[in-house]
């Protein structure tokens, strides 16, 4: 992994793309700098700025932190924490403009903006620690999508050992991201591959393929109320008609619903419960991370969902027989909890069995990484 936190300032002649433009001859800043005690100093070179703020995904509500400027250097700084070893996202506001931390090389990808900067507070024993164990690989696969139009991409986690025995076939876990994310959310930001490597090395999961598609099937910037059900329907079409056939023709997969799982976070959780319940002949394992019947956020009209899966809800005996596991998780500090409870209410009313995991945490990937590590060991048993 790349060294991102230099403890000494180094002269960076030509390192910055703006270096050729006239600017104060100062030593470039280091940001973020993680101190041994877990506190973190963020810095920004912005000689002419009036106000610099930081917003982190660990802050609740509309709060932000103010930087202070060193007038001699034009460097703004703020020290926060201590932070527990984990991965955090943040952005700066420079005179009202949202910006990444220009000195941070690692970015959480986004389908709406330039994303957010990644604060990686290292530590032993994290779920995604790069341990000395066999590593799987991530494959980027392109496929034609008549369902949506054009050529699209999904990522696949291929477990270590896959190439060893060409007669072995694998179950497949379809893992969906949230609104505003990309297909890079799970592999690059959540580090799903290292989580799976570690679970496998510890004997906690069955070897499986994890497929991570792009879940915005209408433009990600379209947030009109009509777009959500259309997005879910197109995702269902794309999965059933394009993605699953592509996966099963390109990889050695095991057939049938007992060998296919679908789970997602937030928007992807809404997709998983809709697509999963409506297609129990395709999936028998369903995971819903911090979502209700309509995805993340505040409770929304669930009529569309209840209509779509009316037959499944009406026949609890048959449905419960088909479902191997319906796992719902939500953080107690997550505003989506009300949506999740709305969903469990519907399931209760129809006597559909499920597991409801109420955990610590808010609406962040720090919670969903843990859910992945809790759910994956239960799959395909």
Least separation in angstroms between residue 208's CB and a second copy is 18
State which of residues 69, 135, 241, 258 lies at the interface with a second copy (CB under 8 A): 135
Closest CA to 55 of 113, 124, 126, 130: 113
Please, which residues bridge with residue 75 across strands? Answer: 45, 70
- Please give the torsion angle defined by the CA atoms of residues 227, 230, 234 and 235, in that order, rounded to the nearest 10 degrees: 70
DSSP state of 88: E
> Is 214 among the residues that bind a second copy (CB under 8 A)?
yes
State which of residues 33, 40, 86, 101 lies at the interface with a second copy (CB under 8 A): 101
**Is the Cβ of residue 83 or residue 90 nearer to a second copy in the bound state?**
90
Least separation in angstroms between residue 376's CB and a second copy is 19
Least separation in angstroms between residue 307's CB and a second copy is 25
**Is the Cβ of residue 107 or residue 378 nearer to a second copy in the bound state?**
107
Least separation in angstroms between residue 63's CB and a second copy is 8
State which of residues 78, 80, 87, 100 lies at the interface with a second copy (CB under 8 A): 100
> Helices marked H in the chain — which ranges?
192-201, 227-237, 244-250, 267-278, 303-308, 310-314, 316-322, 337-349, 365-375
Closest CA to 219 of 228, 210, 208, 207: 228
State which of residues 224, 226, 307, 317 lies at the interface with a second copy (CB under 8 A): 224
> Is 180 among the residues that bind a second copy (CB under 8 A)?
yes
**Is the Cβ of residue 90 or residue 327 nearer to a second copy in the bound state?**
90
Least separation in angstroms between residue 300's CB and a second copy is 13
Residues in 68-87 that interact with a second copy by CB under 8 A? 74
Residues in 240-279 that interact with a second copy by CB under 8 A? 250
State which of residues 41, 73, 79, 93 lies at the interface with a second copy (CB under 8 A): 93
- Contact region for a second copy (CB under 8 A) — 57-65, 268-276, 282-290, 336-344? 57-65
> Which tokens sit at 190?
């959540």
Element (H, E) at 43: strand 40-45
- Contact region for a second copy (CB under 8 A) — 34-42, 46-54, 306-314, 364-372? 46-54
> Which tokens sit at 81?
């924490």
**Is the Cβ of residue 312 or residue 367 nearer to a second copy in the bound state?**
367
- Contact region for a second copy (CB under 8 A) — 115-123, 201-209, 287-295, 306-314? 115-123
Closest CA to 58 of 369, 362, 273: 362
Residues in 3-22 that interact with a second copy by CB under 8 A? 3, 6, 10-18, 20-22
CA distance 290 to 277: 17
In a 13 Å sphere around the CA of 270, the CA atoms on its Cβ side amount to: 31
State which of residues 69, 73, 138, 316 lies at the interface with a second copy (CB under 8 A): 138
Beta-sheet pairing, 209-212 with 172-176: parallel
> Is 152 among the residues that bind a second copy (CB under 8 A)?
yes
Q: Which residues of 288-320 are buried (b: 16+ CB within 10 A; e: fewer)?
A: bbbbbbbbbbebbebebbeebbeebbeeeeebe
> Is 220 among the residues that bind a second copy (CB under 8 A)?
yes
**What 3-state class would DSSP assign to 121?**
strand
> Is 25 among the residues that bind a second copy (CB under 8 A)?
no
> Is 316 among the residues that bind a second copy (CB under 8 A)?
no
**What 3-state class would DSSP assign to 302?**
coil
**Cβ partners under 8 Å of residue 186, min gap 6:** 155, 175, 177, 192, 210, 212
- Contact region for a second copy (CB under 8 A) — 48-56, 266-274, 325-333, 341-349? 48-56
* Phi, psi values for residue 369, rounded to 5°: -55, -45
């Amino acid at each position: 992994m790349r060294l991102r936190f230099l403890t000494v300032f180094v002269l960076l002649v030509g390192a910055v793309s703006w270096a050729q433009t006239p600017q104060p001859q100062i030593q470039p800043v280091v940001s973020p700098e993680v101190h041994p005690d877990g506190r973190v100093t963020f810095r920004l070179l912005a000689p002419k700025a009036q106000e610099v703020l930081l917003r982190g995904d660990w802050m609740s509500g509309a709060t932000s932190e103010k930087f202070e400027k060193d007038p001699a250097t034009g460097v703004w700084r703020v020290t926060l924490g201590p932070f527990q070893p984990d991965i955090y996202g943040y952005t700066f506001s420079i005179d009202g403009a949202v910006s990444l931390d220009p000195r941070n090389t690692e970015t959480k990808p986004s389908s709406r903006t330039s994303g957010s900067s990644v604060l990686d507070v290292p530590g032993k024993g994290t779920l995604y620690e790069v341990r000395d164990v066999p590593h799987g690989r991530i494959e980027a696969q392109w496929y034609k999508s008549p369902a949506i139009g054009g050529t699209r991409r999904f990522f696949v986690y291929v477990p270590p050992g896959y190439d060893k025995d060409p007669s072995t076939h694998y179950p497949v876990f379809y893992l969906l991201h949230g609104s505003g994310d990309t297909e890079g959310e799970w592999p690059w930001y959540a580090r799903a591959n290292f989580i799976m490597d570690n679970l496998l090395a510890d004997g906690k999961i069955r070897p499986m393929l994890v497929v991570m598609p792009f879940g915005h099937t209408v433009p990600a910037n379209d947030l009109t109320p009509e777009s959500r059900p259309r997005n879910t329907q197109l995702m269902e079409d794309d999965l059933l008609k394009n993605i699953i056939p592509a996966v099963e023709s390109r990889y050695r997969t095991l057939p049938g619903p007992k060998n296919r799982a679908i789970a997602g976070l937030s928007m992807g959780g809404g997709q998983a419960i809709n697509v999963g319940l409506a297609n129990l002949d395709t999936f028998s394992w369903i995971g819903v991370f911090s979502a209700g019947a309509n995805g993340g956020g505040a409770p929304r009209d669930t009529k569309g969902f209840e209509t779509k899966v009316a037959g499944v809800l009406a026949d609890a005996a048959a449905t419960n027989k088909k479902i191997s596991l319906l796992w719902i998780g939500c953080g107690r500090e997550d505003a989506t909890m009300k949506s999740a409870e709305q969903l469990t209410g519907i399931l209760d009313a129809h006597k559909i069995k499920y597991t409801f995991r109420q955990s610590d945490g808010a609406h962040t990937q720090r919670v969903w990484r843990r859910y992945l590590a809790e759910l994956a060991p239960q799959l395909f048993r």
